[in-house]
Structure 1
Amino acid sequence: MRILCIRALAGFGLACALVACSGATDPGSTAETEGKVVVAAPPETSTAVAGPLSAQPLAASTLAVPPDFADFDFANGTKYPEQATASVGPAFYLPGSTVAYVPISLDRPTPNTVIARVTTEDGTGLVRGVAGVNYQSIYKSVIFRPGDPLTKTVEVPILLGIPQADFIVRFVEAPWGGLMGTDRAVVQCDFLQPPTEEQVEGRAPRTFAPSGTLQWKMSRETMKWSDAGHDKAWSTKLPNGRSQPGNQETGIYLDGWVYRDYGIEAPLRYTDNGLVMHTQKLKEPIFWDGVGYNYGAIALSGHNTRPLQIGFGQYEFTAQMPTRRGSWPAFWLISTAGWPPEIDIYEGFGFESWWNFDRHTANTLHGGANIMRTFQRGTFMDTQEIYGIGGFTTDFHVFAVDIQPDYITWFIDGQETYQAVNPFAGFRWYPIMNVAVKTFSDYTDGSGDMIVKDVKVYSN
């Protein structure tokens, strides 16, 4: 999710939005690949995929609202249900117990995955419970998926239950995907109180399995690009230009053919490992819209490539992430009818000092109409801690999204990591993959390249 100011264009106007990176159009580019030149087929030779692919929204009746939100007015993708508020509840356990169950509760059904990280502290009462003596410290996560019960319990091992001994269970921070309610509660050993019962109901995470028909797959033969893009080539820029000053980005989106006389390093090349999307510090500034840019970024957009566009279905991106501070990689989807809506499949905020490329991911929905965002909903998370999935800079991982009439579900390496109720009734989507640059540094640490090994598009 990125703040973007869209520059005035015919039919667009000026607005601010949270999206990813830049672009425009112009046919017929070439690109170097491993000593060869891949020439994008000219627009007049392109062919449409089987079946009509309209840029108009599908019938609104295709939205299948889950029961918990049957009465909510999504206003054609411009409104979204409120976030659920999570709270820690008080809990009791009996002397002699080996475990205490502590309730974590939501105040309402959640339209999106909520992840609450909890930990323990020593008590403050007359009989103070002490970690390692009375209880064993924990650091755990409680996951609420849409449709789950509103209360779950976290388990704390008890070592020595002394009557009236207490300790505290608290949130580590505001729950990811939700709001903070009561952030801590006392857990007490008491033979006069009924012990808090375990509550673990809720659905298991989904495993990714494409339900659609394979519509496009990346290969040396199919992965082509040009300035404008067309049915057989991605565009190297987005409809609103090659720069994103509203994001405070310092990189210009390059095309090796358009800027062949500027002494740049090849921004795109196909190797045995996959498609290298290369970012760089420029030897001299390149000007766009009267502004000089000292860094080269890279974007590939499917806004003019109909075989990449679907209504309901799945997108899979297999990639290895950059490590360089100031790089900003992303896989995201935009409606063919215009922005918003937007679905961010993966985003890496490398310009933030706290961002860890190996273990952090971000997923976001942006809703609204007429280039005005009216809501955004999503989260960033430490997937290494929550799901045991990490090492995004050292190996290839599969980032996928499944768009269905009821839910949009995100996956990494086939495992569900996030889900949200789908507010977008029947929009069509096109993909974008890019690495933005947002820095004033020497931009030399680590690698600024994202390597894309595979892309698959499935249509339902």
Structure 2
Amino acid sequence: MIKKIILFALIAVNCCVAQKQKRKLVWQEDFKSATLDESVWNFELGNGCPNICGWGNNEREFYTKENHKIVNGNLVITAKKEGDKYTSTRITTKGKKQFQYGRIEARAKLPVGKGIWPAFWMLGSNIDKAGWPKSGEIDILEYIGKEPHTVYTTLHTQDNHGEHASSKKTNFPTIEEGFHVYAVDWAKEKMDFYVDDQLVFTFAPEPKTEDSWPFNQPFYIIVNMAVGGNFGGPEVDDSIFPQEFTVDYIRVYQ
């Protein structure tokens, strides 16, 4: 039985690698420059107020341009406790780099501790017109420090969002150790989510309507580390700070 499980796992990994090899690398961010390329990346600043205070989730962080750095080809986002507030960084490719279909992946090392909430995710390019969740949301990686050894992969649609989102959490006993690759393989008919080329979640609703499948349009990329909030908190252990969310690269294959 154990041999069969190992065999199936090897087949799944080989299939994933083969799929990636058939595709062309259409965009990559390897963080090789001394500073973040603002022709590609936007900084989202503050606490979301006045339009969406707490970034829609009662989060406690205040985003700045100062809570990140490029170190040896890695983007390092640092969450800090500064006086009576928490600071961090959130970046997006909105209006600059948008993608429809393909494999979108990041190699990253997670922060740890209760209250921390790093994420690698995407939003529909029509969000300003359609609003959320009508625009759709693709959460390729979410990790919350209060649930160690666990990775969340989630999709938000008009039909299923917030606490009722289409979501899967997967246990990885060593996920906090070193770097891991988080990916979504996005096709017209379904989405497959992977951690280190292990398939963890497939989403393929039928029938596909604008409320169940808003994923037939371009999406843009977001990288951030939140603190607290409805999902990551509400409790925050102040003794954990500072914490670093490190991203080695982001790649898109089509």
Structure 1 length as normaliser, TM-score?
0.43
2:219 maps to 1:429: yes
Q: Are residues 255 and 447 of structure 1, via their aligned partners in 2, closer, same or farther at CA, if it must alter by over 3 Å? A: closer
* Aligned equivalents of 2:34, 2:158: Cα separation in 1: 32
2:70 maps to 1:270: yes
Tell me, yes or no, if the aligned pair for 1:367 and 1:374 is still in contact at 8 Å. Answer: no
Task: Quote the offset at 1:441 in angstroms.
Answer: 4.6
For residue 368 of structure 1, give the secondary structure of its aligned residue in structure 2.
Answer: coil
Q: 1:23-422 residue pairs with structure 2 within 5 A?
A: 205=12, 206-208=15-17, 209-210=19-20, 211-221=22-32, 225=36, 229=38, 232-237=39-44, 241=48, 244=54, 246-256=56-66, 267-272=67-72, 274-283=74-83, 294-306=85-97, 309-338=98-127, 339-340=132-133, 341-350=136-145, 352=146, 355-356=147-148, 359-368=149-158, 376-382=165-171, 384=172, 390-421=173-204
Tell me, yes or no, if the aligned pair for 2:31 and 2:249 is still in contact at 8 Å. Answer: no
* Aligned equivalents of 1:238, 1:368: Cα separation in 2: 27
* Aligned equivalents of 2:75, 2:163: Cα separation in 1: 35
The structure with more radius of gyration: 1
Letter paired with 1:207: C
Tell me, yes or no, if the aligned pair for 1:225 and 1:236 is still in contact at 8 Å. Answer: no
Task: Quote the offset at 1:274 in angstroms.
Answer: 1.4
Structure 2 length as normaliser, TM-score?
0.75
Task: Quote the offset at 1:213 in angstroms.
Answer: 2.6
User: Aligned-residue CA RMSD in angstroms?
Assistant: 3.2
Q: Are residues 239 and 233 of structure 1, via their aligned partners in 2, closer, same or farther at CA, if it must alter by over 3 Å? A: farther
Task: Quote the offset at 1:223 in angstroms.
Answer: 8.2
Tell me, yes or no, if the aligned pair for 2:31 and 2:73 is still in contact at 8 Å. Answer: no
- Residue in 2 that maps onto 1:107: none
Task: Quote the offset at 1:391 in angstroms.
Answer: 2.1
For residue 106 of structure 2, give the secondary structure of its aligned residue in structure 1.
Answer: strand
* Aligned equivalents of 2:163, 2:107: Cα separation in 1: 31
For residue 248 of structure 1, give the secondary structure of its aligned residue in structure 2.
Answer: coil
Letter paired with 1:379: K
Letter paired with 2:74: G
Higher normalized helix content (fraction of residues): 2
For residue 409 of structure 1, give the secondary structure of its aligned residue in structure 2.
Answer: strand
Q: Are residues 442 and 360 of structure 1, via their aligned partners in 2, closer, same or farther at CA, if it must alter by over 3 Å? A: closer
Structure 2 residue runs without a partner (length 5+):
206-212, 229-233
* Aligned equivalents of 1:321, 1:452: Cα separation in 2: 9
* Aligned equivalents of 1:413, 1:270: Cα separation in 2: 24
* Aligned equivalents of 1:225, 1:246: Cα separation in 2: 26
Task: Quote the offset at 1:248 in angstroms.
Answer: 2.0
Percent identity between matched residues is: 24
* Aligned equivalents of 2:28, 2:55: Cα separation in 1: 33
For residue 444 of structure 1, give the secondary structure of its aligned residue in structure 2.
Answer: helix
Tell me, yes or no, if the aligned pair for 1:225 and 1:235 is still in contact at 8 Å. Answer: no
Structure 1 residue runs without a partner (length 5+):
1-98, 100-139, 144-200, 257-266, 286-293, 385-389
Tell me, yes or no, if the aligned pair for 1:238 and 1:301 is still in contact at 8 Å. Answer: no
Map Cα deviations across residues 47-94 of structure 1 (whole Å, 9 max, x no partner): xxxxxxxxxxxxxxxxxxxxxxxxxxxxxxxxxxxxxxxxxxxxxxxx
